[in-house]
Chains A and B, each alone.
Chain A
C-alpha cells in the first residue's frame, strides 16, 4: 500500500522516463484526462449492469434453494457456488468456448439458420462473463438474507387471502429488500475490481479501470499512473464498501 502511494507521487516525463518526485502531478494529469473519466464511467456502468443482471438471475435461484425440500437441494447449492472453486481464467476459457464464433451458442444459431452473434472480444462477452462470475457471491449473500425470513409469514399472508404472487410481492420481497441491496453492492464491488474477465473476454477492445491499471503497469510502464489509478480505484471501492456496511447495519436492525 505504502509503496503504491509513494509510487503514485512520482512523475513520468513526456518521453516516458520515470522521475522521482513528491508531487501530485500524476494525479492532476490523470484526473484532467477525459479518457480516464470515460473509463471510470464505463467501469461503473459495466459493474452496475453485471450486478443487476446477477441479482435478477440469482434471486429466483436463491429463493428456490432456500425453499426447496427436495433432496437435490444440497447438490444444487454446490452447483450454484461451484464456479468459485474454479480459477477465473479457466472460467473465462470455458465461456470463450461457449460464446465463441464457432462455439456452442453460435453453432446452435447457425444450425437453426440464424446468423452468428459476436459474443466474445467485445462488451457483450464481458457483460455475460462478469455477470456469471459474481453470481455465486450474489446467491450466497441472498441466501444469508433469506435465512432471516420466517416461513410462517408467507403462510400467514396466504391464510389472509393472498395468492402466492401477492404474498411474494407484499411480504417476501419487501422483507428481502435489505438482502437484495447488500448482494447488489457486493456484486458491484467485485465487478469493479474484476480484471481477468474484461481483459480476456474483451479481447483488447474493452477498457475498464482494472485493465487500464494493468496496461499502465506492464505495457506503457507508466508506474506512477498505474499507482495513482490504483489508489483512485481503491478509494472508489472504499466508498461503495462503506455504503454496503451502512446497508448491512440497517437491514440487520
Chain B
C-alpha cells in the first residue's frame, strides 16, 4: 500500500496464545486528522492502538510516523501521547506534577515546565486545579488532566483508548466536543478507540470499523453510516430495520413483498438493511418504491426524535420520526400504518 500520510499502520498482526487478535491492519492517517477505531469488544482495536503506542510488539507489520519506521522503538522512545481508558494518573502526584512528568523525562528545565503545565491546564479548562491530587478530582476532571498530560509533551501522535467510556452520558457528550476542539487546535494526528458508534461518527474524520482483527470498512462517518460495505458494518453502525430474503427478477423477495434496491439484479439469499430515518409513514395517497403495511407496536420518545417500532408480517420495522411536526403524537399502539422508503435507501448484502 502507498506509504503516505503522517501515521501509517502497515499490515499489523498480533496473536495471543495462537489466536489472531489483530489480523492484518493497514491504515494511513493524514497529519492532524482524527481516526476512530470502532468495533465490538474483542475486535482487536485496543491491541492495535497498543501496538502503535509501543506497549505491544506486533508479530508482523510496521508502524511509521512521518515516514520513519518506529516499530522497533520501545514506548518510551516514541513521541506519542496516550490517554488510557482508566486515565492512569499517578495517584501520588498532583495534577500539575502529572502533566509535568513527560516534560521532566525529556529534560525540560523547571521554569519552562511550569509555564507549559499552566498552559496545558488552561487548555483543558482546569486552571485552578494544579495542586489537586487525582483522587480529589471528578471523572471528567481526571479525564482532562490525562489529556493535558498526553498533550503537554507535544507528541507526534495522540492515542486515546476509549477515553470517554468511564463517564456518564451527559458528560460524555460535553467532553466529546471539547476533546475534538482541543485536538483540532493542537493539530495532533490522533487515533482513538471506541465501541460507541455514535461517538465515532460524531468525532472522527475517518472511521475504521473493525471486526475479528481486520478493518471491515474505512471511510468518513457519513459513508460508513449511509453506505456500509458489509452486513456487519450495516448492523454495527446505527440502527436498522432488517429483512431476510432471496433475489428474484427485479428485486428481493421477502414474504409477499418484492423489494426494489438500487441494484438491478442479484443472486441468492440476501439480507436487507434500511435506516430508520429513511422510512416514512405514508399517507393514503402517497406511494414509494417499497411499501409495507403494519401496526404500531411501541413508541419510544427520545426528545428530538421518536423511535417507532412497527410490527409487519415480515418482521419488526424500526422507524425514526422527527418530533418537530408533532405527527408522532397521533400514533397509538395498534394503529395501522403504511411504511415507505426508496429503492436507493434499501441496502442489501449477500447472506
Contact = CB atoms under 8 A, between A and B. Distances in A.
A97 B327 CA distance: 93
B105 A153 contact: no
Interface stretch (B75-83, B208-216, B270-278, B282-290): B75-83
A250 interface: no
A162 B84 contact: no
Given A155-B75, A175-B92, A162 B105 contact: yes
A158 B84 contact: no
Given A162-B105, A166-B105, A156 B82 contact: yes
Contacts, number: 60
B91 interface: yes
A161 interface: yes
B80 A159 contact: yes
Contacts of B77: 161
A150 interface: yes
Interface in B95-131: 101-102, 105-106
Contact of B88 (A156, A161, A162, A175): A156
Most chain-B CB neighbours within 10 Å: which of A150, A155, A159, A170? A159
A4 interface: no
A152 interface: yes
Given A157-B101, A160-B105, A161-B76, A175 B55 contact: no
Interface residues of B, number: 25
A164 B75 CA distance: 10
B30 to A, nearest CB: 23
Interface in A156-183: 156-164, 166-167, 170-171, 174-175
Contacts of A150: 86, 88
Nearest to A150: B88
B76 A159 contact: yes
17 contacts: A153-B88, A156-B82, A156-B89, A158-B55, A159-B53, A159-B75, A159-B76, A159-B78, A159-B81, A159-B150, A160-B101, A160-B105, A160-B153, A161-B76, A161-B105, A162-B105, A175-B91
What 10 A-B pairs have minimum CB-CB distances, sorted nearest first?
Answer: A160-B102, A161-B105, A156-B88, A152-B88, A159-B82, A158-B75, A158-B76, A162-B105, A174-B92, A163-B76
Given A155-B82, A159-B53, A159-B54, 20 more contacts: A153-B90, A155-B75, A156-B84, A156-B88, A156-B90, A157-B101, A158-B54, A158-B55, A158-B74, A159-B82, A160-B76, A160-B101, A160-B102, A160-B153, A161-B76, A161-B77, A161-B102, A162-B76, A167-B76, A175-B91
Interface of B: 53-55, 74-78, 80-82, 84, 86, 88-92, 101-102, 105-106, 149-150, 153
Interface of A: 150, 152-153, 155-164, 166-167, 170-171, 174-175
